[in-house]
Structure 1
Amino acid sequence: MVLNDRINAFAKLGEFLSQFKSTGYEKVNTYHADDSFFDEMIQKIESAKHYNGWFTKENVLFAVDEWSNALTETNLKQWLSAYELSNMTPKTIGVIMAGNIPLVGFHDFLCVLISGHKILIKQSTNDNQLLPFLASYLIAIEPRFKEYISFTTEQFSDYDAIIATGSNNTSRYFEHYFGKVPHIIRKNRNSVAVLTGEETEEQLEALGKDIFTYYGLGCRNVSKIYVPEDYNFDTLFNALYGYHAIIDSQKYANNYDYNKAVYLMSNYKLFDNGFLMMKEDPSYSSPIATLFYQKYGSDEEISQILKEDNDKIQCIVGANKTQKTVDFGQTQSPGLGDYADGVDIIEFLTKIN
Structure 2
Amino acid sequence: MSDTHKVRFEPVGIEIEAAEDETVLDAAFRQGVTLMHGCKEGQCSACKSFLLDGDIQMRRYSTFALADYESDEGYVLLCRSHAYSDVEIELVNYDEDMIRSGLPVLDVTARVAALDDLTHDISLLRLTLPEQSGFRFHPGQYVDIGVPGTDEHRSFSMANTSAADGQLEFIIKRYPGGRFSGLLEDGLTVGDRLDLKGPFGTFTLRAGSDRRLVFVGGGAGMAPILALLRQMADSGTDREAVYYYGARTERDLFHLEELAAIADRLPGFRFVPCLSESWPEGWPGAAGDGETGLVTTALAAREQDLADCDVYLCGPPPMIDAALPLLESLGAPEEQVFFDKFTITAAAED
TM-score (norm 1): 0.26
Kindly indicate which of the two structures has a greater share of residues assigned to strand.
Answer: 2
TM-score (norm 2): 0.26
Kindly indicate which of the two structures has a greater share of residues assigned to helix.
Answer: 1
Larger RCO, structure (CA 8 Å, separation 6 or more): 1
